Chains A and B, each alone.
Chain A
Amino acid sequence: MAEIDPTQLELERQGVLLTTVNRFYNWGRRSSIWPMAFGLACCAIEMMAFGLSRYDVARFGAELFRASPRQADLMIVAGTVTKKMAPQVVRLYNQMAEPRYVISMGACATSGGPFRDGYNVLRGIDLLIPVDVYVPGCPPRPEALLHALMTLQEQIDRQKLGRVRWYGSSDKPQTSDFPVPTFGAKGLEIDGKLVDPVGGLPLLSPYTSPSHGEHRSGQIEHPEIVRQFPIMDPEVELENALKARGVAPEIAADDLKRSVVNDA
């Protein structure tokens, strides 16, 4: 809960309810985030546990899994997004009414996971749609998904009604439909360009983190920086994209935890 006067909280404890339209409205929205009944792989099993009695997401008002994207507020991308499935995911997202949120659940939806270097799996759903909360894990436990939901609720709490795109006067930047990728000879394409070229992936999504759902730039932040995934330590001097120069300090110090090194 951001920027709430402690006097107000104290008054609430005493039974006097003082609120602002903003806070009241956000409370209403955060307390009924209806997810879409939409699972792609094994993460969906954990998502079912998250919805059912043991973990009971009804405590957060998000128990109503809707089968229609028109009635859903939240898309939980639960599982491996294969390239063949990705256009449907984007299409479903485009069909959701604003305000809409996305939780990327698990390693596969976030980055491609163990299938990242394969030929058939999208390397992260954030290449195609903006993601609000990422959940690590393979699969994440239901508690982790609950935590993601609470994180999303905190993000909603921080929204200002006057500034969000979908209310108020219309001079704010509005979203259009997100481009649905098409099938190409090597993979998914948007406007004839590969969505996830090898070696060319930015560390950040092209859809910059939609800051609390308020805007989307569509630009890669700092495109001038060449990013390579595996070695991110700026201290390390690189021989090529994946190989550090010189000898690892552990080896130089003979600090490997084994007494005999045979070179057979």
Chain B
Amino acid sequence: MPEMSPAELRARLAAALPDALVDVAPLAMTPPPAHGPQPGMFHPPDPFVHPDHLVAAALFVRDTLGYALLSDIAVVDYLYAGCFELVYRFYHPSGGPGIVLRVRVPRDAPQVPSLTPHWPAANFHEREAFDLFGVEFVGHPYLRRIYMWDEFEGFPMRKDFPRQGDKYLGGDE
């Protein structure tokens, strides 16, 4: 079964698409506490891809490396760092562990090129990411809400979506 470590994937991508990879600084998920143990910074080993080169990198992963199954597009909201991170997870049809591509976009203008024209499986994943996080997939043929109703306002999985519920009443006082 094919197996590819993140470092290996980085090397293959760097050789094939030298512009696609970006170096990102380690990311702080929360404001550092005034005292006490400092939390570690978040710096995963997976390759980070520039949004403009995402389609090329994904097609390289599919056509050259053979990881043809796009399993999931996850979005993480790093509110303190001010960015969304999109995690694309690919699997090989003959099995083995998956590989991961990551894309970071700023929270105030989250725009990512859509994979749907090349990869029909991305359709619902991207609509879900748009529905819950408001990430705009440029080039998606039918980008509208999939879980929430069309009249709903706001993106409920964002960290700054207002909390609702009786248990939060009076919590700020």
Contact = CB atoms under 8 A, between A and B. Distances in A.
Contacts of A228: 166, 169
Interface string B92-136: 000000000000000000000000000000000000000000000
B149 to A, nearest CB: 4
Nearest to A243: B170
Contacts of A230: 166-167
A242 B170 contact: yes
Interface in A72-118: 83-84, 116-118
A117 B170 contact: no
Interface in A102-152: 116-120
A242 B168 CA distance: 9
A240 B170 CA distance: 6
A170 B166 CA distance: 43
Interface string A183-203: 111100000000000110100
A198 B152 CA distance: 17
A88 B152 CA distance: 18
B38 interface: no
Given A183-B150, A184-B151, A198 B170 contact: no
Given A116-B165, A119-B164, A198-B165, A241 B149 contact: no
B148 to A, nearest CB: 7
- Among A84, A117, A119, max chain B CB count under 10 A is at A119
A229 interface: yes
Contacts of A120: 147-148, 156
A183 B152 CA distance: 7
A185 B164 contact: no
B153 interface: yes
Contact of A84 (B148, B161, B167): B148
Interface in A200-230: 201, 228-230
A77 B164 CA distance: 24
B33 to A, nearest CB: 13
Contact of A229 (B161, B166, B168): B166
A116 to B, nearest CB: 6
Contacts of A199: 166, 169
Nearest to A84: B149
Nearest to B151: A183
Please report whether the interface of chain B is mostly helix, strand, loop or mixed according to DSSP. loop
A66 to B, nearest CB: 29
A228 B169 CA distance: 10
B163 to A, nearest CB: 8
B134 to A, nearest CB: 14
Contact of B169 (A84, A116, A119, A198): A198
A248 to B, nearest CB: 17
Interface in A232-259: 240-243
B171 interface: yes
B173 interface: yes
A117 B168 contact: yes
Nearest to B171: A242
Contacts of A183: 149-152
Contacts of A185: 151-153
Q: Which 6 pairs, one residue from A and one from B, show the smallest C-beta to C-beta distance? A: A117-B165, A240-B170, A183-B149, A185-B153, A119-B156, A183-B151
10 contacts: A84-B149, A117-B165, A118-B165, A119-B156, A185-B153, A186-B153, A198-B168, A199-B169, A228-B169, A241-B169
Given A120-B147, A242-B170, 10 more contacts: A116-B166, A117-B165, A118-B164, A120-B156, A185-B152, A199-B169, A201-B166, A230-B167, A242-B167, A243-B170
